[in-house]
Amino acid sequence: MTDSTSEYDSDSVRQRLQTAARYPPRSQSIDLESIVVRYEDRTDRCTITPRECPDSERLTTWLSADIDAFVELEQLR
């Protein structure tokens, strides 16, 4: 593929990080829940969502990825 562009070029990412750095970190922790869906014919998927999430936000407040994208926290320490 040639001549393709992405909204996530290095300048865009740099700008987003600078914008995010202006906001103070949240002092309140958020409890997360992980849900793993296992498939027979493809890679399992893991979805992370806040444990207590209002129904109005449930469809937009989550992160989902192939299970092999996640690692045990102890492996990174």
pLDDT given for residue 72 in this prediction: 82
Main-chain dihedrals φ then ψ at residue 4, nearest 5 degrees: -90, 150
Question: What is the percent of the chain where pLDDT is above 70?
Answer: 82
Task: Summarize pLDDT for 17-52 with one digit per residue, the tens.
Answer: 777 777 777 667 788 888 999 999 999 999 998 888
Nearest to 48 by CA among 68, 32, 60, 59: 32
Q: Residues 6-20: pLDDT tens digits?
A: 555 667 777 877 777
